[in-house]
A and B are shown apart, each in its own frame.
Chain A
Amino acid sequence: MLKVENVSKQFPGVQALSSVSLEVNSGRIHALVGENGAGKSTLVKIISGAQPPDSGRIIFNEVVFEEYSPAYASAHGISVVYQRQQLVPMLSVAENILLGEQPRRSRFLIDRSETYRIAGELLNRLRVDVDLRKKVIELTPAQQQEIAIAKALYRQAKLIILDEPTAALGPSQIERLFELVRDLCSHGISVLYISHHLEEIFRLADRITILRDGKHVTTQATTNLTQGAVVNLMAGHDPQRVNGPETIRAGMVDPDVRRNPIRSEECALLEIRGLTAGPVLRNIHLIVPKGQVVGVTGILGSGTHDIAQVLFGLMQPVRGEIRLSGASYTARNPRSAIARGVFLVPENPSRDGVVARMSIAQNITLVDLPAITRLGILQLKEESATARKYVSMLRIAAPSAVREVAKLSGGNQQKVLLAKALQAKAQLLILEEPTQGVDVNAKEEIHRIVQELAATGKAVLVISTDIRDLLLFTDRILVLREGQIVDDLPAGVADYTQILNLTLGVEEAE
């Protein structure tokens, strides 16, 4: 039914897909798995027409795609239900399902009763029980997803792509979704199912395609695979990649700091006991000593980012105790967190981290304006001297410190934020996905800078879904699953597959 033939796609610096082929049969559930960056989303974007491939072709129901646009793909019967819904919040359920293709009384008048009749019939057929007149904003995420699927069906979708559909669902809602998906298949509709949850995939999918580094690894019937085998295939076994860290680390950091990780509580800079917060975090214990780089990993929704939010005053804990340098610590907001020596470098620097139109210098000093203020007046000379210091120290590639931050690369924007952390005299640095979207050289530089900061006695907490990256520059890696710490591994001991297994909750396979 859907044939992907030798599709390749290149982005600047990355071969996102190289000659990937796969085939989805009619009325079947086909799972697509791979770690972050394996090329799943790029493939989905090409199939759904959001991006054209560089080479290769898509054939759907014997039609070779000549054009890549969402409208074209949708007109041929391919529909994507994304993690974030593409529904209009203030319109009713029925209006959303029929949006843009509503029945009309005349050229300019929509036929409301017909709209509701058609939507009602459709939801009945799907056995979805939702009030048609409710606004979408009032629905639960699970219901919104069902409406998105109904919308796809109204547009005569023959292939529905579900991208992490269970991320926001509870157990009973997941069962309901599975029923719905199986129901679709019995009506001859195919489903391409993308998920990190292998358990779900093994319950649901007929076939599984595994991608790694933009390449097709294998496509097998689910019955021929085990979860452990899938993880091994996702990870690949390339000893060089797993053992990389030592070569990069050698000679960079004071060996005493690294080899004798100090575990005693007197040296603990950050100590979290029994922290419960947000929707998932339960009873977290965590110690970050001075001079250590601690990685925290887990799949989307495992609660890793909630730890950062609590520490930076963006989320209030329900229970638990946090101590910073031995003193009780609470942060009402980022301002009070910064005052206590905690700084967060957010996940998307260009969106949430920097003021793009301001200069490097202005961005750095923003974190502590009083430091460059005398008698209520900003000392601009002092400001540019401060900024120049950081530009050379962190090797920010810019012609001068008055350069607008918008004109810097992602890696250099990241460095501006690290400079801000230093200017704020932070003792604890929290980095969220610090190497996401930066090139290889910048990645290595960021690794090096972070280790050097740790060597000067700061504690660094790195929150990342990129396990390989964490292995390269952290001292310890904590693995979170469903809001709980499931393991705490020294980086020298941990290996990639083991951690991946832990994040996914899969028993280790031989």
Chain B
Amino acid sequence: MSPENSGNNQLATKNQRSQKRPQLSLDRFRIDATTYGTTVVLIVGIIITAIFQPVFLTVSNIANVLSQIAVLGILTMGQTIILISGGIDLSVGSNVALSGVAAGLLFLHGVPLWIDCIVALACATLIGLINGVLIAQNRAHPFIITLGMLTLLEGIAELVTGGSPVNDMGALATTLGGTIFFGIPTAVVLLFVVVVLTAFFLARTPLGRAAYAIGGNEEASYLSGVPIKRTKIYIYTLAGLIAGIAALTLSGILNAAEANIGTGLELQSIAAAVIGGTPLIGGRGGAWRSLQGVLLLGVVSNSLNLLSVGANYQNIALGIIVLIAVMVQKNR
């Protein structure tokens, strides 16, 4: 292409000049205000707690914190993918409950555990698929569609259990509920694997990229030939599968399944993602950021426990943290 244009040359020189500065690397590893903010709050929180309650930094307490947040962390990964694509999923909590109950009831009736697990994962994935199809085919907002799904799933779970918990998950309790090597809880390892896979999915697969694009500008994505409906269906289906993994983990840790066990998890997963830096408006965020939100919630609640703060005050503190996190993001 011929460069004969004076205004153009001006731009080009400016361009070259700035390229000499190490801006490229800064751009790539740009430190985001929100990520940074959450990290600072997280570290400060850990230090303060450690000063007042040295027991906080013991291996057993750290393992305790991590296993407490494992289920929420796994669930938040699915929620993160959906939030990035500009959607929301309120049904993940009840999906966890129903899938867990499905596995538990089958086990109770003597079906081998591995089949129970596959059925639970399939059930969770199917629920995600239904969400995705309804959202892709309808103009209704995902908020209301998944709210409907939440109520529906809770109803079904209540119906099949008759309201009473399933109290034996067999080997699931010793595997997923137990520890793997060096006393590390299996659930924590599973969380780590899910986070790494989600981060990889978002950064390195076409579908993950499409999620950012649709959440960032659905119209522009459509005009770029991104298959909007298909992408949404895949993403909700994937979030369903992740909810299934969370369901098995929770059943293992508790050695039980119950119809109302997931209540509130959907809102916690949204709150954790938002605190971590995956906002509701779509097109932004990521797995590691959301994980920071989960960790922050876990650390705060653990330290308040160690400081013997009552449950009501704990809720107040958590509420304030959510509000602060959201306001920091709005000011960006």
Q: Is the CB of A366 within 8 A of B227?
A: no
Q: Which residue of A337, A339, A378, A420 contacts B204 across the interface (Cβ within 8 Å)?
A: A378
Docked pose: A346 CA to B14 CA in angstroms: 28
List chain B residues, Cβ under 8 A from A445. 5, 7-8
List chain A residues, Cβ under 8 A from B213. 355, 358, 362, 366
Interface size on A, residues (CB 8 A): 49
Looking at B3, B5, B27, B220, the one whose CB has the most chain A CB atoms below 10 A away is B220
Q: Is the CB of B204 within 8 A of A377?
A: yes
* Interface check B222, CB cutoff 8 A: yes
List chain A residues, Cβ under 8 A from B210. 366, 369
Please give me the residue from chain A that is nearest to B24 by CB atom: A400
* Interface check B308, CB cutoff 8 A: no
* Interface check B232, CB cutoff 8 A: no
* Interface check A238, CB cutoff 8 A: no
Please give me the residue from chain A that is nearest to B222 by CB atom: A334
Contact A334-B5, Cβ < 8 Å, known A355-B220, A399-B15, A399-B27: no
Docked pose: A402 CA to B216 CA in angstroms: 16
List chain A residues, Cβ under 8 A from B167. none
Interface size on B, residues (CB 8 A): 40
Could you give, for residues 1-35 of chain B, a 1 whenever the CB lies within 8 Å of some chain A CB and a 0 otherwise?
Answer: 11111011011101100110101100110000000
Docked pose: A490 CA to B283 CA in angstroms: 45
Looking at A251, A344, A358, A403, the one whose CB has the most chain B CB atoms below 10 A away is A358
Could you give, for residues 209-230 of chain B, a 1 whenever the CB lies within 8 Å of some chain A CB and a 0 otherwise?
Answer: 1101100110111111111000
Docked pose: A355 CA to B219 CA in angstroms: 9
List chain A residues, Cβ under 8 A from B183. none
Distance from B24 Cβ to chain A, minimum over Cβ atoms (Å): 4
List chain A residues, Cβ under 8 A from B28. 402
Q: Is the CB of A355 within 8 A of B204?
A: no
Distance from B233 Cβ to chain A, minimum over Cβ atoms (Å): 15
Contact A335-B216, Cβ < 8 Å, known A393-B1, A399-B15: no
* Interface check B315, CB cutoff 8 A: no
List chain B residues, Cβ under 8 A from A368. 225
Please give me the residue from chain B that is nearest to A412 by CB atom: B11
Docked pose: A221 CA to B230 CA in angstroms: 61
Q: Is the CB of B7 within 8 A of A353?
A: no
* Interface check A385, CB cutoff 8 A: no
* Interface check B310, CB cutoff 8 A: no
Q: Is the CB of A357 within 8 A of B225?
A: no
Question: Interface on chain B toward A: helix, strand, loop, or mixed SS?
Answer: helix
* Interface check A444, CB cutoff 8 A: yes
Contact A378-B205, Cβ < 8 Å, known A354-B217, A354-B220: yes
Docked pose: A357 CA to B213 CA in angstroms: 9
Distance from B324 Cβ to chain A, minimum over Cβ atoms (Å): 23
Distance from B202 Cβ to chain A, minimum over Cβ atoms (Å): 11
List chain B residues, Cβ under 8 A from A441. 5, 7-8, 10-11
* Interface check A352, CB cutoff 8 A: yes
List chain A residues, Cβ under 8 A from B220. 352-355
Contact A252-B27, Cβ < 8 Å, known A420-B224, A424-B225: no
Distance from B294 Cβ to chain A, minimum over Cβ atoms (Å): 23
* Interface check B284, CB cutoff 8 A: yes
* Interface check B110, CB cutoff 8 A: no
* Interface check B206, CB cutoff 8 A: yes
Please give me the residue from chain B that is nearest to A314 by CB atom: B223
Q: Is the CB of B225 within 8 A of A352?
A: no
Docked pose: A380 CA to B202 CA in angstroms: 13
Distance from B21 Cβ to chain A, minimum over Cβ atoms (Å): 8
Q: Is the CB of A399 within 8 A of B225?
A: no
Docked pose: A376 CA to B209 CA in angstroms: 12
Q: Which residue of A369, A393, A444 contacts B7 across the interface (Cβ within 8 Å)?
A: A444
Docked pose: A373 CA to B8 CA in angstroms: 34
Q: Is the CB of B224 within 8 A of A358?
A: no
Q: Is the CB of A358 within 8 A of B7?
A: no
Looking at A251, A352, A356, A369, the one whose CB has the most chain B CB atoms below 10 A away is A369
Please give me the residue from chain A that is nearest to B19 by CB atom: A399
Q: Is the CB of B205 within 8 A of A376?
A: yes
Q: Is the CB of B216 within 8 A of A358?
A: yes
Docked pose: A452 CA to B210 CA in angstroms: 31
* Interface check A90, CB cutoff 8 A: no
Docked pose: A174 CA to B272 CA in angstroms: 57
List chain B residues, Cβ under 8 A from A194. none
* Interface check A155, CB cutoff 8 A: no
Docked pose: A337 CA to B216 CA in angstroms: 22
Distance from A442 Cβ to chain B, minimum over Cβ atoms (Å): 8
Distance from B313 Cβ to chain A, minimum over Cβ atoms (Å): 38
List chain B residues, Cβ under 8 A from A377. 204-205
List chain B residues, Cβ under 8 A from A334. 222-225
Q: Is the CB of A399 within 8 A of B18?
A: yes
Q: Is the CB of A366 within 8 A of B226?
A: yes
List chain B residues, Cβ under 8 A from A402. 24, 27-28
List chain A residues, Cβ under 8 A from B10. 441
Docked pose: A133 CA to B226 CA in angstroms: 43
Distance from A181 Cβ to chain B, minimum over Cβ atoms (Å): 37
Q: Is the CB of A355 within 8 A of B222?
A: no
Report A433-454 residues with CB < 8 Å from chain B CB.
440-442, 444-445, 448-449, 452
List chain B residues, Cβ under 8 A from A362. 209, 212-213
Docked pose: A357 CA to B10 CA in angstroms: 26
* Interface check A485, CB cutoff 8 A: no
Please give me the residue from chain A that is nearest to B27 by CB atom: A402
Please give me the residue from chain B that is nearest to A376 by CB atom: B205
Docked pose: A251 CA to B210 CA in angstroms: 42
Contact A366-B209, Cβ < 8 Å, known A358-B216, A402-B27: yes
Q: Which residue of B1, B8, B203, B283 contacts A355 across the interface (Cβ within 8 Å)?
A: B283
Q: Is the CB of B204 within 8 A of A397?
A: no
Distance from A348 Cβ to chain B, minimum over Cβ atoms (Å): 10
* Interface check A84, CB cutoff 8 A: no
Q: Give 23 A-B contacts (CB < 8 Å), ordered by A residue.
A: A334-B222, A334-B225, A352-B219, A352-B223, A356-B216, A356-B217, A362-B212, A366-B209, A368-B225, A369-B209, A377-B205, A380-B204, A395-B1, A395-B8, A397-B12, A397-B14, A398-B15, A399-B15, A399-B23, A400-B23, A402-B28, A444-B5, A448-B5
Chain B residues at the A interface, C-beta cutoff of 8 Å: 1-5, 7-8, 10-12, 14-15, 18-19, 21, 23-24, 27-28, 203-206, 209-210, 212-213, 216-217, 219-227, 283-284
- New contact pairs (15) apart from A252-B2, A400-B27, A441-B10, CB-CB < 8 Å: A352-B219, A354-B217, A355-B212, A355-B283, A357-B284, A362-B209, A395-B8, A398-B15, A399-B27, A400-B19, A402-B27, A424-B225, A440-B7, A441-B8, A444-B5
